[in-house]
């Protein structure tokens, strides 16, 4: 990834971690697939 971004991996290192609010909502509300939150399906949205 660093090389693709134009950085020398011998000089730079990195670590990435993320837990978005959409993942937290998925777990809290028992949604099976996080992609459902972005479908704009009213049947899904009206549950909340």
Reported confidence tier of residue 8, pLDDT bands at 50, 70, 90: very high
Q: pLDDT band at 11, cuts 50/70/90?
A: very high
Residue 1 has pLDDT above 80, yes or no: no
Q: What is the pLDDT of residue 23?
A: 86
12 pLDDT above the threshold of 80: yes
At 44 the pLDDT is 86
Q: Where are the domains of the chain?
A: 19-48
User: In Å, how far are 5, 21, 37 from 46, measured between CA atoms?
Assistant: 41, 19, 11
Q: Which helix (H) or strand (E) segment is 24 a member of?
A: helix 21-29
18, 30 contact by CB (below 8 A): no
**Average pLDDT of the residues of the chain:** 86
């Amino acid at each position: 990834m660093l090389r693709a971004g134009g950085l020398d991996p011998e000089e730079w290192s990195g670590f990435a971690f993320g837990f978005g609010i959409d993942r937290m909502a998925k777990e809290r509300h028992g949604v099976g697939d996080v992609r459902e939150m972005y479908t704009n399906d009213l049947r899904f949205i009206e549950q909340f």
